[in-house]
Chains A and B, each alone.
Chain A
Amino acid sequence: MQETAPDPPPVAQPVPRESFRAGMRAGLPFAAVGFILSLSFGVLAREVGFSALGAIVMSAIVHAGSAQFAAISILAGGGGAVAATTAAALMNSRFLPMCASVAPSLAGGWARRAVQGQAVVDPSWAMARRAGGRFDRHFLFGATAVQYVAFVSGTAVGALGGSVIGDIEALGLDAVYPAFFLTLLLAELRDRRSRLVALAGGMIALALVPFSPAGIPVLAASAAAFAGLARRHRVSG
């Protein structure tokens, strides 16, 4: 497919295919971790009553680990379909600002952009960011492609082989998810300002945990990013 991007990138025009490949390479370690993450999802989903097919289909059409874990933890606690779906939606609410930030770097009409926005997952989004708030969309697509394949495969292995794998907590596999996000976070702590914002985001989230449903603390933490606005305003006068 020939690429005729109407929106000019700020610096050098990245070659789409090379960007896609670079994205795939960058996505590989996260795909490996995502495999283990989704494997534990597959096991846990079976424990709350999912069929293997149901767990695999969920990973294939939702592809959002944090939201899927949120949904099954509600189900495990006796919650209903609406509560589980709401928890997933809240957990995914961080994708509202994330996907909005990517919007100008996508291409095509509104529907095509909405479809391209589905490629946003945490590692790809963080790694595809370029200077001036732009994103390399082909890099994003490549990074997400390998993670998607690993995520669905991992779910299949967990859902079909759960009895062999055993107890997720005894194996420490529940530590994969936070360690996964910690690797992404550490890569973001480049300067004093990003460290302060991370600290503020973490504090906001922790402060809200006792008072709000899962997902809301994380969404609210995004408010810490508005420090970027204040700083810039002061500098530009």
Chain B
Amino acid sequence: MSSQLWIVVAGCAVVTALIKGLGPAVLGGRALPARSAGVIGLLAPALLAALVVTSVLAEGQRLAVGAKTAGVVLGGFVLVRGGSVLSGVVVAVVATAGLRAIG
């Protein structure tokens, strides 16, 4: 493995540790302002929705709908109908693979 790739490994480890450690190190035990509780509660839906849509609809800087999009939508149906995490993911994977196989 080239030294360039080891630099990527080390670089990613360092930036991730810094990003995750910064808030806790700087804020310490100080309570966040009371009003921030509402914002914190809504960070998850905002960030997770963004992660989902970008991972199914973005290919680099291009927006695209494909087998993966349809597969994840099918997996989502299973989840909404009360399926387990694993069943939802398995349906998404199988549907995506199936659509690619016939497409």
Q: A interface vs B, CB < 8 Å? A: 6-7, 29-30, 32-33, 36, 48-51, 53-54, 57-58, 61-64, 66-68, 71, 75, 77, 80-82, 84-85, 88-89, 92-104, 106-107, 109-111, 113-118, 120, 122, 125-126, 129, 132-133, 169-186, 188-189, 193-195, 197-202, 204-206, 209-214, 217-218, 220-229, 231-233
Residues from chain A with a CB closer than 8 A to the CB of B51 are 66, 122, 178, 181, 185, 218
How many B residues, CB 8 Å from partner? 78
A231 to B101, CA, bound (A): 48
By a CB distance below 8 angstroms, the chain A residues around B46 are 197-198, 200-201, 221-225
* Selected contact of A115 from candidates B1, B21, B28, B101, CB within 8 Å: B21
Q: How far is the CA of A6 from the CA of B1 in the complex (A)?
A: 47
Find chain B residues with CB under 8 A from A57 CB: 9
CB-based contact B93/A179 at 8 Å: yes
- The reply to whether B85 and A33 contact each other, CB–CB distance below 8 Å, is yes
Report how far A85 CA is from B91 CA in the complex, Å: 33
**What chain B residues lie within 8 Å of A54 (beta carbons)?**
1, 5-6, 9
Most chain B beta-carbon contacts within 10 A, residue among A88, A198, A200, A233: A198
